[in-house]
Structure 1
Amino acid sequence: MTEITRVPLQPLSKGSVSKIWLGTLVAVLVGGTVAVAARPPLVGVKTLKAGEGPNPTVADLVMVNYVGKLDNGTVFDQNKNVVMQMQGTIPGFAKALAQTQRGGKYLVKIPAKLAYGDKGAGPIPANSNLTFELEVIDFRNRAELEMQQRMMERMSRAQGGAPGAEAPAAEAPAVPGAQ
């Protein structure tokens, strides 16, 4: 029978097990801190009044009322019944819209990295967090909206022209006794 070479294990000194567990705990805490620091910033969406139905998608045009404010409360923009493409907004606003529903009112907090970042824009300074009071009026798919517009144009042409065009000239009324 062959004997397997044995490697003798040295006994651990007193307190070594505690040091191993302490080192493991420190490694886990450092790893967790790095993971939290590397996490992308999140958009905060607080529902003030619940909406109904599905959420808008990237392909939708959304009609909203909004008031945009800086952290110090300064209003930098506001609009009513504005239609916007989700793709045409800042990343944080698009992410927030994707979490809303028709008829809902929301308080949206967008971190600077998902807004205008270190560049700023107009009255918005660089590295500014933004807060929006947002109301979603309606949203429609672009294809659905274009089809509806074409149907309205056809109906308008069938009724005698486009809006604002002159009406066709009417025939002169017949005068009694004239030929």
Structure 2
Amino acid sequence: MSKTINGIIEDVLANEGGYVNDPRDAGGETMYGITIATARANGYQGKMRDLPRETAFDIYRRRYVVAPGFDQIATISAPIAAELVDTGVNMGPVVAAKFLQRALNALNNQGKDFADLAVDGQAGANTRRALNAFLNKRGAEGEAVMLAALNALQGERYISLGEARQANEAFMFGWFRTRVAA
């Protein structure tokens, strides 16, 4: 897969859709999946319905791709980077990076293939080295297994969110349908 960062962001924008203001959503008003709090934190002061698509694209690039280092993960594996960006948009980039680190630790053959990582939510050099080592050893099959592991962690997190806040149950079916790949 040779998906570019721009293509990954375009997929997120398509998946997120347009304006939503569901009172059950703790994030409040959103446009293209960007919450009002995120828009304001990134300098946008207008009405959420009027948030330009280009502004949303730029927020996604800066906050959900470059800042957490997922652009550098994309040079190793575009599908894994796409999964991390998508998870980061919905759960936060730190959560997505922790999912990757936890999965790498679980798949490192008791430290024989590469050392355990600190699960710090930073997709830095150590995480990239571990991912490279994992994929060099396991290849395309390893990439598929990593994607399955990331989706399993994401699915478990959704169930926990639904258990912790009953209003989240309204979104559960959609989260599993659109966020957790089959």
Larger Rg: 1
TM-score normalised over the length of structure 2? 0.20
- Which has the larger share of strand? 1
Which protein is richer in helix relative to its size?
Answer: 2
TM-score, with normalisation over the residues of structure 1?
0.20
Select the structure with the greater relative contact order (CA < 8 A; seq sep ≥ 6): 1
